[in-house]
Amino acid sequence: MIKFVPKSVPKAGAAGSPARARRRGAVCLAAALGLVASALAIPGASAAPVKTVAAAADPAVTIGYGPNFLHLPAPLSTSGCLANYGVRCYTPAQLHTAYNLNPLFRRGIDGRGRTIVVVVPFGSPTVEHDLHVFDKQFNLPDPELQIVRFGDFPPYDPTDFTRIEWAAGTSLAVQNAHAIAPGAKIVIAETAVSETEGVTGFPELLHAEEVLMKAGVGDVIAQIEATGESTFPGVAEGDFASLLALRHTYEMAAARHVTVLAVPGNHGKAANWPSTDPLVTSVGGSQLYLDDSGKALRPATTWNDGYGGSGGGGVSTVFARPFYQAGVADVVGSHRGGPDITMTAAVDGGGWIYTSFGGTGGIGWNLFNGTGQAMSMFAGIVALADQVAGHRLGLINPALYRLGELAQRGNPRTGLVDITEGNTTADGRVGFQATPGFDLATGWGTVDAARFVPALAHSHPPKGGWFARGRDS
């Protein structure tokens, strides 16, 4: 039996010392400044006046890839961010407009009845409180939120960077997923071992996923953890046993029709697992260019905005090309390639996240970004599609690639929005170029949710399922 443990919410007080560091491949937080939301077009939402704080540039602040916490008392506008810091910043309302989510919300499609599972080491001691502040600010409903703890947890230590970075990662995943699917239930599975590289930390994370799946909990699993395939013992020498021994969790997910999402990383060319697994959907990063209302000023591009990070992706050294990528063999070659799809991840265009867990120099509003943001938002998209379908969609990659092929033939109803500009060469790594159709910079591009969600929901597998002829990877 699973015991759901409510989190205590400590009172906001003096924070610990500032921390600035990078979360390899998963969490990319960039402090910045933005605006406060107006009412959202979701059922039950009421109009609220826009609150702003005075824009005041801080010459000591350098915006860049990494967790730059500013702890503002309220967000600023996108135009205020540009004027004072040279970067854009977006609210949920702007992203709802940019991804055309409002027509779905008006029809009651908000993720209700579906469950998003966020799997993360340690979690955040203030996740409930911070999500409530986020919801109040942006006029969103508080979701049903439950937490499952696996292992013995020491008390939160605001001087321990490991605990700080996972608390930040939890905030990133939960608030972004909720912003896209505000009606979905969220379950946070917390493990007591930090994921670092290779095998370390992954068995605990995967065990947590299996326990939840066996209990029937979760429609889509969001994982911000990623590590290079080459960090697993033996992989560099051609022995893949240490990695392959872990993927039984994803086989279980496929069998139980649970969708699993992961991040390809934030640094150009990379083969990061579990993003490279054929049973997982890889969600990369793109960049939006929005005005204060969320209207696009130009088409989305690959995320590579000059702040030290970029979209990630590449070709696996472990996994052969899966059947659903046969139509893009000229791009991926003989092995699994990704990402499969992207959402916003840029420093110049980060999203507002509220934190109060301490150890970062204060409490308040910060600007987060990275492929962890993109993947968490796409978890919300999948929850919406699950609601429309009336059931779990499970492995969505075959349907996604079928929609991609239809989009290439000019079908406007797929909801896929091609990204043809930009590349992922950054941070000293040679990346990939965005091109028409599928590419290793942005996959199939990004989404127009009002079209993509129903298209994905109604893209049924062939009779007998995707694996009817023994295609298990």
Q: Give the pLDDT band (50/70/90) at residue 86.
A: confident
Residue 111 lies in a domain: yes
Residue 468 lies in a domain: no
**pTM listed for this prediction:** 0.88
Residue 473 lies in a domain: no
What percentage of the chain exceeds 90 in pLDDT?
Answer: 73
Cα(206)–Cα(209) distance, rounded to whole angstroms?
5
322-355 pLDDT, tens per residue? 999 999 999 999 999 999 999 999 999 999 999 9
For all residues of the chain together, what is the average pLDDT? Answer: 85
* Residue 315: pLDDT over 70: yes
pLDDT at 461: 67
CATH number for the domain spanning 316: value is: 3.40.50.200
Nearest to 8 by CA among 177, 147, 191, 166: 147
* Residue 266: pLDDT over 50: yes
Nearest to 349 by CA among 61, 63, 27: 63
Which residues constitute the domain of residue 302?
28-46+67-457
| Sheet arrangement for strand 312-320 | 268-269, 312-320, 335-338
3-state secondary structure string across 235-295: HHHCCCHHHHCCCHHHHHHHHCCCEEEECCCCCEECCEECCCCCCCEEEEEEECCECCCCC
Cα(182)–Cα(258) distance, rounded to whole angstroms?
20
25-55 pLDDT, tens per residue? 333 332 222 212 222 233 333 223 333 343 4
Q: Residue 98 contacts by C-beta under 8 Å, 6 or more apart in sequence?
A: 90, 288, 290, 294, 295, 296, 344
363-416 pLDDT, tens per residue? 999 999 999 999 999 999 999 999 999 999 999 999 999 999 999 999 999 999
Number of separate domains in the chain: 1
Residue 467 lies in a domain: no
Residue 322 lies in a domain: yes
Q: Give the pLDDT band (50/70/90) at residue 464.
A: low
Interstrand relation of 281-287 and 341-344 (parallel, antiparallel or unpaired): parallel
Three-state secondary-structure class, residue 403: helix
Residue 20 lies in a domain: no
Residue 198 lies in a domain: yes
pLDDT at 308: 79
Residue 242 lies in a domain: yes
pLDDT at 257: 96
Helix (H) or strand (E) holding 375: helix 371-389
Nearest to 87 by CA among 268, 263, 266, 303: 303
pLDDT at 325: 98
Q: Residue 255 contacts by C-beta under 8 Å, 6 or more apart in sequence?
A: none
